[in-house]
Chains A and B, each alone.
Chain A
Amino acid sequence: MVGKDTMTKTNGSIIQVSGLKKYFPIGRTLLGKPKNFAHAVDDVSFTIKQGETLGLVGESGSGKTTIGRLLVRLEKPTAGSMLFEGKDISLLKKRELKPFRGGIQMVFQDPYSSLNPRMKAGDLVSEPFIIYRKGNRVEIKEKVEKLFDAVGLRKEQIDRYSHEFSGGQRQRIGIARALALNPRLIIADEPVSALDVSVQAQVLNLLAELQDEFDLSFLFIAHDISVVAHVSHRIAVMYLGKLMEVAETKELIRHPRHPYTESLMNAVPIPNPKLRRDKHDVPQGDIPSPINPPSGCRFRTRCPHAFDRCAKEIPLLREIESKHAVACHLFDKEMEDA
């Protein structure tokens, strides 16, 4: 499907997002104009390479889920472009979107509410083939069985309803559904946070296996940086609608540069009582509202290093080292000094 021209244009990346914005209207005046906007995603740019997993980590209200929903076009962006295999899908209409939907699929957080309780597992997985008119009944059945096998479900379970499955198995059904149409990019939005620890590991390992087997690219969205680090090649840290830092996983964990990333790392509980800290070095207070985000840098109200410039100017995300981008004025200063 992808021609040679587009391949060179895309530079080996499966999706290129630039200047992506999503503002949600809040309240209406008498004349029907929105009173206010929640700046859920505000000028975000990133790319995901072929076969790569980009982890997107952030706390609640950071806009990470909105980014996922924008990429599968469950939401329409306010501004910006999203080039999927070289073609901008940000403004496509519903009918024009259909051919792309198979290429980008989503795995949802809650395996309990994302599966129709009145459908059998096999029907849930064959639904995409029916919608896209791919194959006759026998062929579809064969494909469904293959998918069941790929995600570690048994063929006998095809005729069961979703309530007969455990949480981890349901998430496997969700993954099988997402894989049905041979997607190139999978958006996994908190795919393991509703699962118990022992099952979490099963699903994370499954996703890694499938990535190798089907040459998939992932956007892996989660609030838990230890989970994200485990599956991702690169990590993007998000706070209040903006990317704060993007770097390769090991680099980010070992040398977090943005004060927010640093505090996230300090806040993560470490399962080793010997490393217990008396006091966590974390920002006090709570995340400000995305309706009236702080001027300048979004993190400045909680940042221990904030200075006057942080309130005036929005710091741009830029590379301070090779493959390590940070949006923070502290590093502008450093660069100027150097």
Chain B
Amino acid sequence: MGKPEKKGRALTTVVASNPTNIETLLRVENLDILFGTAKQHVVAVDGVSFKINTGETLAIVGESGCGKTVTSLSIMGLIPCPPGIIDNGSIQFNGKDLLHLKMEEMRKVRGNDIAMIFQEPMTSLNPVLTVGLQMSEAMMAHKGISRKEARKRAIEMLKLVQIPEPEKRMEQYPHQLSGGMRQRVMIGTALSCEPKILIADEPTTALDVTVQAQILDLMNDIKAKLDTSILFITHDLGVVAEIADRVLVMYAGRTIEEALVTELYENPIHPYTEGLLRAIPRLDQYLSADNSVKEALKQMPGIVPSIYKKIEGCSFAPRCPYARKQCGQERPVMKEVVPGHRAACWKPEW
């Protein structure tokens, strides 16, 4: 029983770096999202549950089509209906179920309490408005402050996101800014109404590595300053290791593993997580002393299952090296395997 003790220690170190009282800000439960009609549809999100605590960064990681973006959009109330159908589940925030709010009420939550930034900042900024105008517009709408005040605050926000010469940038249009600058403007705008949660959907994927590193530093910096919780959506396990406190792994619309970041990387339970971690080329292996032979990457056989097919058992079973008969028939649910570490897999029970 030496092992759980070790894990307990890892838990406390991460909590210690996060001194505020842990409180659940947002709780998603049993979320099912379909696209199509009631008769004919595909399941994009299948029974997803998780929570976001105050002041923490939760990363949702998964490959394309795993449902991570759809999950985040549903929190913002941005799933178009039709064709999207939120079939089941609840999203609890501030004592309210976001899924049952009226449009007006949801509008108040959006931007004010929960803000979102996207992968490609150019498509989320309005190309015909100056940076200053679109930043102040958001604040005037949500905070009801005057144009002058909003402008002043917009400049402050630009300073916060470390944009040089903020007064000059206020008068510029998005196309005059570089990709990194645009993402900074997006972050500044999103944070201008002091949201409690910032949802960031692949915010650095379109950026160059050196700029990505700047933006990750900025987000870590801001989180510490403003005590905002961050829901970080990404496919990149490197980025997750740099920014997350806790990680949720998704595969084919389902959550399959959840743990604190160090725990997940050191002791992945689900074979998919294990496979992902082995499939990435990593530089740190060159830095460790003796490796004269280059190892082939451990590749995962097969591909992600089509969402058009209903999956009976575990969605990863067809690609899983450990799969048994049970895996193809019974669906594993998320269970705590070691304290603070949950996974949806039959293997730990064998």
Contact = CB atoms under 8 A, between A and B. Distances in A.
Interface of A: 59-60, 166, 168-169, 196-202, 204-205, 208, 223-227, 229-230, 249-250, 253-254, 263-280, 282-284, 286-287
A169 B301 CA distance: 12
Contacts of A169: 303
Contacts of A59: 208-210
Interface of A is mostly: helix
A226 B208 contact: no
- Pick from A166, A205, A271, A278 the residue with the most CB of B within 10 Å: A271
A268 B238 contact: yes
A197 B236 CA distance: 8
Interface string B294-319: 10111110011000000000000000
Given A201-B300, A263-B210, A266-B213, A286 B283 contact: no
A270 B238 contact: yes
Contacts of A273: 241-242, 244, 261-262, 265
- Pick from B212, B240, B275 the residue with the most CB of A within 10 Å: B212
A269 B212 contact: yes
A231 to B, nearest CB: 8
Nearest to A274: B262
B241 A272 contact: yes
26 contacts: A60-B208, A196-B64, A197-B276, A197-B280, A198-B275, A201-B281, A226-B281, A227-B281, A229-B281, A230-B294, A253-B287, A263-B210, A267-B212, A268-B209, A268-B283, A270-B242, A270-B284, A271-B238, A271-B282, A272-B241, A273-B242, A273-B265, A277-B242, A279-B217, A280-B214, A284-B214
Interface of B is mostly: helix
Contacts of A250: 286
Contacts of A265: 283
Interface residues on B, range: 35 or more
Contact of B280 (A223, A271, A278, A287): A271
- Across the A-B interface, the 7 shortest Cβ-Cβ residue pairs: A269-B238, A230-B281, A280-B213, A267-B213, A59-B208, A201-B297, A196-B63
B220 interface: yes
Contacts of A196: 63-64, 235, 304
B211 A280 contact: no
A244 to B, nearest CB: 13
A276 B242 CA distance: 5
Contacts of A201: 279-281, 297-300
Nearest to B296: A205
A286 B279 contact: no
A250 B294 CA distance: 10
A249 B293 CA distance: 12
A212 to B, nearest CB: 11
Contacts of A198: 63, 275-276, 279, 299-300, 304
Contact of B209 (A199, A264, A274): A264
Given A273-B265, A278-B220, A197 B283 contact: no
B181 A286 contact: yes
B287 A254 contact: yes
Nearest to A200: B279
Given A197-B276, A273-B261, A278-B220, A166 B212 contact: no
Contacts of B235: 196-197
A275 B191 CA distance: 28
A273 to B, nearest CB: 4
